[in-house]
Amino acid sequence: MKIGIDKIGFYTPHLYVDMNKLAVSRNVEPEKFTIGIGQSKMAIPPISQDPVTLAANAALEILDNEDKEKIDFVIFGTESGIDNSKSAGVYVHRLLGLNPHARAVEVKQACYGATAGIQMAKGHIALNPDSKVLVLGSDIARYGLNTSGEATQGAGAVALLISAEPRIMELEENNVYLTDDIMDFWRPIYSDKAFVDGKFSNEQYILFFEKVWEQYKAKTDLSLKDFEAICFHLPYTKMGLKALRAVLDEAEEEDKERLLANFEISRKYNRNVGNIYTGSLYLSLLSLLEQKDDLQSGAKIGLFSYGSGAVGEFFTGILQPNYREHLHIAEHTQLFAARKEVTVAEYEEIFQETLPIDGSTLELDVTNDPATICLAGMKDNMRQYVNKED
Ligand code: CAA
């Protein structure tokens, strides 16, 4: 039985800041952000969007009534969760009107959470072939104004429907993974911003990729020539390029060219959204699938997942016949086209807006937020969500 990705949804907030303008206001040469970091636009979440709403909006566009009935497991990967106890998956389960007889949990290991969710989903489908699992990767990346990480912020979510006989990508076996207790990036529970040892995190990311790639080759006897493309977790898009370059010397010229050309396509969406942590790898996969119209079914795609702290995994998938018919290309083109630019000053103001933490009531005006599912306010320390279609 094949198990894999049956549908992929994506959502990013409707606001963004231009990286050229952010660079000017930070007294940095724009090329540092656009080439050195590899980012063009950074998604800005208004206060009416949080990781729950981003994920729910991403899932909303892909699920039909049959999916809602068959999903019996919601796995929410996030590292910017809103509650230390209740899982974000439970809110999404309600907002989407899923079958009550489902499990809903949250999984955490930095940007690796959604990958862990996918692997758990595979096991669940193997035991329950008729069921479907909704895996969500949703995050808001925050380092702080005027920090070196600022240019690598972002916000968004990816929703993956995992099932038997998937219509987009079969996930193969032979995964290789690695854990090492390091402090490259972390966020203590008292902080809403991440702490990071930037240079160390870059080094560890590449080291993890090299290690799992070596292990994969030893386990499978495959090499770079067997891959149409390799997609990476993209904390900023130059990071994936650095990792790819670290192994490219192993390849023949034509394989090098193909992998580099496909990498460029796989970073298009991420370049315009920023880091979405748990969803970043899958946004890059989506970028490749939706933006490369001559990608053939049967192609083998490599996926490198990295979650600081750290866990890394390399795994592969095979594109299924007619997979393009099951993508949401028009919706995503429209999502990007409808975004509105904010100035750096407006971004800074939005960044500093906070929700009450004293139990007081806040009502948010959601009429200016085009998302279907929004955070409408706070009451008695409870977030109030609204699905405008209900
Ligand atoms: N034109 C072109 N390139 C320029 C330039 C110019 N005018 N000026 C500078 N650059 C280049 C630099 O040469 C450098 O390129 P290389 O890395 O290829 O050498 C690049 O721009 C960045 O410059 P710096 O290294 O000086 O940048 P920095 O120190 O200010 O910050 C950073 C970079 C460390 C990545 C920082 O943004 C950061 O800490 N980000 C958050 C952490 C992160 O994303 N780590 C990635 C691995 S961890 C992970 O993957 C998990 C996760 O999601 C966080």
Nearest residue (by CA) to ligand 1, atom 15, is 36
Question: Is residue 256 located within the same domain as residue 343?
Answer: no
Distance CA 386, CA 177 (A): 39
Q: Do 213 and 357 belong to one domain?
A: no
Check if 346 is active-site.
no
Residues 103 and 125 in one domain: yes
| Backbone phi, psi, residue 285, to 5° | -60, -45
CA–centroid distance, residue 36 to ligand 1 (Å): 6
pLDDT less than 70: residues of the chain: none
* 131 and 204, same domain (yes or no): no
Q: Which of 321, 345, 373 is the last residue of a domain?
A: 321
pLDDT of residue 321: 98
In tens, the pLDDT along 215-237 reads: 999 999 999 999 999 999 999 99
10 Cβ inside 6 Å of ligand 1: no
pTM of the predicted structure, to 2 decimals: 0.98
Q: Ligand 1 pocket, 374 CB below 6 A? A: no
Distance CA 58, CA 76 (A): 12
CATH of the domain at 141: 3.40.47.10
Q: Is 185 in the pocket of ligand 1 (CB under 6 A)?
A: yes
Q: Are residues 216 and 331 in the same domain?
A: no
Total number of domains constituting the chain: 2
CA distances 145 to 116, 150, 154, 179, 367, Å, are 31, 6, 13, 31, 27
Q: Is 273 in the same domain as 135?
A: no
Give yes or no: residues 265 and 343 share one domain.
no
| Residues of the domain holding 34 | 3-169+327-387
* 183's tokens: 């402090």
- Which string of DSSP letters, residue by residue, matches 145-188? TTSTTGGG-EEEEEEEEEEES-SSEEEPS--EEEE----SEE--
Predicted pLDDT at 193:
92
- Contact 307/275 with Cβ under 8 angstroms? no
Residue nearest to atom 32 of ligand 1 (CA): 198
The arrangement of strands across the sheet holding 362-363 comes to 362-363, 373-379, 382-387
pLDDT at 380: 97
Q: What residue type is 306 in one-letter code? A: Y
pLDDT value of position 221: 97
Looking at the fold, whether 253 and 365 belong to one and the same domain comes out as no
Residues 77 and 111 in one domain: yes
Q: Is 326 assigned a catalytic role?
A: no
| Ligand 1 atom 27: residue of nearest CA | 148
CB count, 10 Å around CB of 97? Answer: 13
**Which among 321, 337, 356 is the end of a domain?**
321
- Residue 337's pLDDT is what? 98
Q: Are 51 and 92 members of one domain?
A: yes
Residues 176 and 313 grouped into a single domain: yes
Q: 162 forms bridges with which residues in the sheet? A: 5, 133
Closest CA to 98 of 117, 74, 125: 74
Measuring CA to CA, which residue among 194, 144, 193 is closest to residue 307?
194
